[in-house]
Amino acid sequence: MMIGIDGFVFAMMMPFVIQFKVHVNQDRDGYPVNLIIGSLIVLVSVFGGFMAHGGQLLAVWQPFEVLIICGAAFGAFVIANPGKLVLGVLRSIPSLIKGPKYKKQDYMDLLALLYDLFSKSRRDGLMGIEGDVEEPHKSELFKKYPSVLKDHHAVAFIQDYMRLIISGSMNPFELENLMDVELESHHHTVGEPAHAVSRVADALPGFGIVAAVLGIVNTMSALGGPVEQIGTKVAAALVGTFLGILLAYGFVGPVSTALERRAKDEAAYFATIKTCIMASLHGYTPQIAVEFGRKAMPGELRPAFQELEQHVKQQGQAKKG
């Protein structure tokens, strides 16, 4: 028995050792690995502990309980949300496997692009960047930064406000207020999948109780039968409550939190764009404007001043070449 417990403890500790090595070797790019390791830790902790206590794993396998809980939860999710949001959630969850949407290099490319854009506007005048702003996919300036160009939301955001600056029809305070309104609306939109999944997590324990009650009703019809049959049906009913709670707090809830973090990452990226544009609009040089943006970046992704300066210089040399 002691050997079995020692083996179980070893199995429990291994994921933490692996996760520690992942964090040593990777920064936020290791999130997909953390997602998998976290799920394994939940499964090993729950089912490993159950088996170490003498439980039979097959007793927990109740596919009809899973059908009741997951089917009812998904049906309620479809009822509560418009079709566009349902599809958005289904697209967002697999994206978690890809890792964070914005990495350090993406931010550095963004700041280098804005530096080039601001420098050209100071050198050639605002009308000199009109062609780049109107047709970024044909602009040699934008083509240097494919990581930015492929993000059509970010490109559209840059286009919209640079157009307003070129037209000269708004003062800086009005433009900043308009940016804040758009960013708040955008943040609300990208945060909806996380809120929708969170509501599913809140409902899962209730659907687990529904499955348990149905299991007890099924048990009532077997009261005159063998004790073993009654025990099996009662166990199946209790598994319904167990699965509802496990799915809610072990998987669906954490997925909701991960989606919320992804939405915050996107909001931080757009806030960096806003900070740079406003600094340039207030008359700061391109170097200082992108420095404002660097300071607005998330701390764990923020490059050193010299690192960003070197990256901008390299991009400028590539352009000349």
Residues 6+ apart with CB under 8 A from 303: 104, 107, 108, 294, 311
- pLDDT value for 316: 67
Q: What is the pLDDT of residue 10?
A: 43
The residue among 59, 81, 103 that closes a domain is 59
Both 2 and 81 in one domain: the answer is no
CA atoms of 197 and 209, how far apart (whole Å): 19
CA distance 304 to 297: 11
Confidence band of 40 (pLDDT split at 50, 70, 90):
very high
Of residues 231 and 162, more confidence is placed in 162
Q: Is there a single domain that holds both residue 145 and residue 165?
A: yes
**Do 174 and 230 belong together in one domain?**
yes
Domain end point (choices 41, 59, 77): 59
Same domain assignment for residues 210 and 237? yes
CA–CA separation, 43 vs 41, rounded Å? Answer: 6
Q: Are residues 10 and 109 in the same domain?
A: no
Q: What is the pLDDT of residue 13?
A: 45
What pLDDT does residue 289 have? 94
The b-or-e profile of 268-300 (16+ CB within 10 A means b, else e) is: ebbbbbbbbbbbbbeebebeebbbbbbebbbee
Both 147 and 260 in one domain: the answer is yes
Tell me: do 248 and 103 sit in the same domain.
Answer: yes
- DSSP per-residue letters across 245-261: HHHIIIIIHHHHHHHHH
- Domain match, 52 and 136 both: no
Answer yes or no: is pLDDT of 1 > 50.
Answer: no
What pLDDT, in 10s, does the model give residues 124-138? Answer: 988 899 999 999 999
What pLDDT does residue 233 have?
A: 86
Same domain for 49 and 97, yes or no, is: no
Question: What's the structural domain count of the chain?
Answer: 2
Domain encompassing residue 9: 1-59
pLDDT attached to residue 126 = 87
Same domain, 32 and 88: no
The residue among 59, 83, 106 that closes a domain is 59
Q: Do 176 and 249 share a structural domain?
A: yes
- What pLDDT is stored for residue 31 in this prediction? 60
With a cut of 60, say whether residue 111 has pLDDT above it: yes
pLDDT for res 35 = 83
Same domain, 25 and 131: no
Split at pLDDT 50, 70, 90, the class of 319 is low
Q: Once rounded to an integer, what is the mean pLDDT over residues 15-28?
A: 44
Mean pLDDT of 272-301: 93
pLDDT of residue 18: 45
pLDDT, tens only, 167-200 = 877 788 889 999 999 999 999 999 999 999 999 9
